[in-house]
Every structure is written in structure tokens, then in C-alpha cells.
Structure 1
Amino acid sequence: MLFTPLKPMLAITGKEAFDDVQFIFEPQYDGGRILIHKRQDRIEAYTRYGQVVTVKFPELLEAAKAIQADTAILDCEGICLRDGRPIFDDFNHRGRLGKSAAIAQGALLHPATFVAFDVLYSEGREHLNEPLTRRKERLADIVMDSTVLTKTMYIEGQGRALFDLTKERGLEGIVAKRRDSAYRLDFRSSEWLSVKHVRTVEAVILGYRTKPFALVIGLHFRSLRNKPVGTVADGLSLADKQAFLAIAEQLHTEKDRQTDTQWIEPRLCCQVDYLDRTDMHQLRTTYFRGFLPHKRPEDCVWPYN
């Protein structure tokens, strides 16, 4: 089990925050899932997809000292803090660096912290089938909090209060976990529920699809303009669709028949809510809020914060 890629347990999407004494509630941090493996002085870090990223995070050498066990596998969220808040793009940037000089500079400018929330293995024993509360006790015994590795906080029963607190502090949301849940590798479990805060972005409309109808939206990034970041269909009324098509007809450029996408000149903007995005900035669970007739398309920039 040690030093082999493991696919972590995942949460399903929850509809709203709730209170329940059968659950514990943790903050959800905006970073990247990392599994840390340790045996004595050796430490390795794996992404949720099984990629070894140890060399990208020199901080892990210090993190090894905070693990008070000869062998361990910890499930963590890797984050980079800016003004006390985890910034997704900073950690994502660290994970893309390859040259040693860039890695060293990245560690200096955007130091990483690994927030541990579960233990899968320690001192030669698997803990997958133990209840979550017992694994939390083991985690408390073997992790000595430091600036590089720290245990996540959690509360019992009071999900709504933590959800409000995470919104106040600019965090992503919460995860609700059944107290007695086992850890199931490579499984998305209804015993873990992810409840995220809605985020809003102002995007440029790059095109549309007709089967079914959806707007293709984009944003400007530091190195790329008009990058498609997803589609939005929910929230669009028939009147919205008709008004858009009347204008879009005059802005047609090329048609991609393979994806059924009619591209248009990037002149129109809209406001969109979303709950999540991928490492490649693709927005998920989107909802149309309205057109922005006075918004300049060149101002539709990915929010780096």
C-alpha cells in the first residue's frame, strides 16, 4: 500500500448545509487533493490521479518531521495561502512547475501547506475499515501541527454554523461526513457530502450549442484570451434565448459541426453562477443570471483570488 498510487474516497454533491449529530463537518479548502506517504525518512506525495509530485513541493521534507509515525499515509488538501485564504490558482501553479529553479522560486513566493483530514495507514496497519472518528483520533496522535502540515479542524453536528463561517472567511464550503464512515478507495460515497458556496463570474459569450441549447462562455487569462471555460443552460428563459439568437445571428463566425457549436464574435457578456471548476478552469454546475449589455468583453478576466 505504501508508495503506490491510491485513488482517494470522494464526496458527492450535497444540496445545502444541515445539522445532524451523526455527522462531523470540515471546512473545504481551495487547493489540490494530495496523499502523503511516509516511511522513516522517505516521503512521497501523490495527486488524486496517481501522479507523483514530491519534487514540486520541497516543503514536504519539513512535513515529514511533523508526522510522528515511522510509516503513514495521510489524505490531505494541499493549499497556498494568500492573505489568510487558500488560493486555488497559486497551488495549481505550483503543481505545474517543472524546472528546479522555478520550483524553488515557487516555494518561496507561494509556500504550500498540507491540511490532513484522514489517515489510511500507520505503523504497518491499514485503517480503511475503521470508523471515521477512530481515524480522526489516530490522526491527532501522529500529526504534530506545523506551518507545513496541519490537521483540519472539524465540528460535530453543526453544519450550518460552519457553512456560514466558511462563507465569511472566503473558503470553498464544507464537507459533511458520517461519524462511522469507513474509507473506501476509488469510490464516491453518499456518506461524504460536499456543500459549496455559489460563486459568480462575468464571462464573454463565445458561441452557442443547439442540441440542447447552451451558451459557450469564456474568460481571459494571463497567457490566453477568450478561453472557453464551460457552457450554461440552466436559468435561460425562452425570452433570453430568443433575444440572444436575434443578436448572435449577426455575429456568426465558424461552425464546429463535430461539437455542434456555432462560434460568434466575442462581443456579448453574461453573468453566471457556478459551484465548482476543474484544474483546467472548466466551470461546473452553472446557472445563467443575465446578460450584461454594458460589460466590456475585454474585462471578462478570470478572478485570480
Structure 2
Amino acid sequence: MNTAPQAMLLEKREEPFDDPRYVFEPKIDGHRLLLVKDGDTVRLWTRHENEVTQKYPELHVPPLNCSSCIIDGEIAYVDPTTGMIDFEAVMERFRMAKQPMIQEGMLRLPVQYFVFDVLEVDGRDVRRLPLTKRTELLDSIMTETDHFRRVMQIDGCGKDLFQVIQQKQLEGIVAKRKDSSYVGRRSDNWLKMINYTYANVKIAGYRKNEFGWLAQHNGRSVGIIELAVPGNHRKAFYRIAQDIVIGEDKNFVYVKPLITARIRMRNWYKSGMMRTPEFVEFVV
């Protein structure tokens, strides 16, 4: 295959649930990867249809018992000292472009490919098969190794799995209809539920040219809030902000940090910055 296969994407749901029509999986905190095997040739594609074959040499000999196939999964880095998945580490690997750096990255930050689906086997398109059948097929052709892992599935019990995810401080869970076919677009047959981190932050300013509030936490800047802010909340903020302006520069207007917002995010970056923060409410 010379063109990238199109990935099936997730819809969002707020609360975990139990349902015998679904299987539930831990959500792996890495980046999406589709692997295409054709004889001895392997090509790797992101969900944005960018080829990244040369970035991950450790995945070039997959443990697959087939002459050709297409599999889908998530590429991640697991810290060997903690057993925790480290999103920033796999992003560091992803940014490596030159071969000497990639070779060094293989030794320092070896990746694992967490596989959860199969689209094609030996020329047979299996995307219309129900998920349960595709899972059986994947299990029959794939062996686990240091770099290739199967994603665990739990039958029907999303609430219990989500509790475990919270205890282990992992990203979240995915719910998939057992009878779902594989479609190359976003579908509500696959749902994601995120294990958010919550925090209260002070708003210390706002962008001039596009929406975004500068956030402070414990007196230091931690990023910009720009997601999930309702229009009436924006208007209320600007009405108050005009009276507490303390300065400006080319890009920002700065205000006294008197307004508190509750936000949720994927987690804190190691730098102390917020990862994809979303507005929840003002705190009075």
C-alpha cells in the first residue's frame, strides 16, 4: 500500500459506563500508528497520514504470521523504572529526524507498539467484520515481543476499569461496540473517556488577536486556557477585566490575578505547564 490507511477515530463521552455490548480498553497515552506489512516491507503511518517508517526501526520486523496485513495501534514509551507510560518521551522520539539521533533514541527511549485492531490480512479486507472477529483474527496472527504488545480488553465493565485507570493515574479508557465494523472516520461506536486532572488557576491576562486566557498556578505561568469556554463566560470575564488591567505588550493584555477558574487537563507536563487545559467554571 503506497497510500496511508485511514484510521477510525473516537467520539468523546464524559462518564464511564457498563454495557455488555461493549469491550473496554485502557487508553494508551502515545500517538496513533498504522503498520502496513507487505512481504518483508513495512511502512508506518500516523493517523494524519504522514509516513514515519524511518523514525521507528525497532518496528521494522513485526511478529506477524502473515505475508501481508494492516494493523492499528498506539505507539508509546514505557518508563522501565516506573512502568508508567510517558507521553513526553514518545513525543521526543517522534521529533527525532536524523538517523544518528534516531539510533541513539532507540537505545535511550525504545518504543512499544500497543496493537488493538487489524484492517487487512493476506489481501483480505476485514474492516467490515465485527470487532470481536477482528480481535480473534489479530490474536491468531500476532505474537507479543518487547516492542509489540496487545491492548488488554475488559468485557462490559467500564466503570471498574476506569477506577483502576484513576488509581494508576493513566490517561483514560476506550469503549468499543463488539459489533462495530472499522470505518476510516470518527464514529460513536468507539468512545473515549478521559481521566482528567483538575486544578484551580488564576487568570493573569488575555491574548489580543485570538481568544486565550493566561493562567497562573502558585504564582507562576502555566499556559493558556482556550478550550471549552462558553460565550457568556468570556463576556463576563472581559467586563471585569477592563477594571483590573495592569499592562500590555504586543500580544497580551495583563490583569491583576484576581479571577479564579477551575480547569481540567490531561495532566501536568514535566515543565509544570498544563497539557490541553479546558475551562470548567469560575470559582467564587
TM-score tier by shorter-chain length is: 0.7 to 0.9
Partner residue, 2:195:
197
Q: Distance in 2 between matches of 1:58 and 1:201?
A: 39
> Aligned Cα RMSD in Å?
3.4
Structure 1 unaligned spans of 5+: 220-224, 257-261, 292-305
One-letter identity of the residue aligned with 1:193:
L
Q: Distance in 2 between matches of 1:182 and 1:285?
A: 32
Q: Distance in 2 between matches of 1:169 and 1:227?
A: 24
Within 5 Å, which residues of 2 pair with 1:182-221? 182-185=181-184, 187-200=185-198, 205=203, 207-208=205-206, 215-217=213-215
Partner residue, 1:297:
none
Partner residue, 1:144:
143
Q: Distance in 2 between matches of 1:208 and 1:155?
A: 44
Within 5 Å, which residues of 2 pair with 1:244-259? 245=241, 248-250=244-246, 252-254=247-249
The 3-state SS of whatever aligns with 1:73 is strand
Shift of 1:248: 3.9
Q: Distance in 2 between matches of 1:275 and 1:244?
A: 29
The 3-state SS of whatever aligns with 2:90 is helix
TM-score by length of 1: 0.77
Cα deviations by residue, 1:139-191 (Å, 9 ceiling, x for unpaired): 10111011101111101111111111112222211110110001111x11111
Q: Distance in 2 between matches of 1:213 and 1:78?
A: 33
Q: 1:44 to 1:282 in 2, by over 3 A?
A: same
Q: Distance in 2 between matches of 1:161 and 1:23?
A: 14
Q: 1:160 to 1:88 in 2, by over 3 A?
A: same
Shift of 1:266: 9.4
Partner residue, 2:265:
274
TM-score by length of 2: 0.83
> 1:264 aligned to 2:254?
yes
The 3-state SS of whatever aligns with 1:157 is strand
Structure 2 unaligned spans of 5+: 269-273
Within 5 Å, which residues of 2 pair with 1:70-89? 70-82=67-79, 83-89=82-88
Q: Distance in 2 between matches of 1:156 and 1:106?
A: 37
The percentage of counterpart residues that share the same residue type is 29
Q: 1:145 to 1:271 in 2, by over 3 A?
A: same
Shift of 1:216: 3.7
The 3-state SS of whatever aligns with 1:94 is helix
> 1:22 aligned to 2:21?
yes
Q: 1:161 to 1:217 in 2, by over 3 A?
A: same
The 3-state SS of whatever aligns with 2:104 is helix
Shift of 1:247: 7.0
One-letter identity of the residue aligned with 2:172:
G
Contact kept? 1:132, 1:182, Cα under 8 Å: yes
Contact kept? 2:77, 2:111, Cα under 8 Å: yes
The 3-state SS of whatever aligns with 1:107 is helix
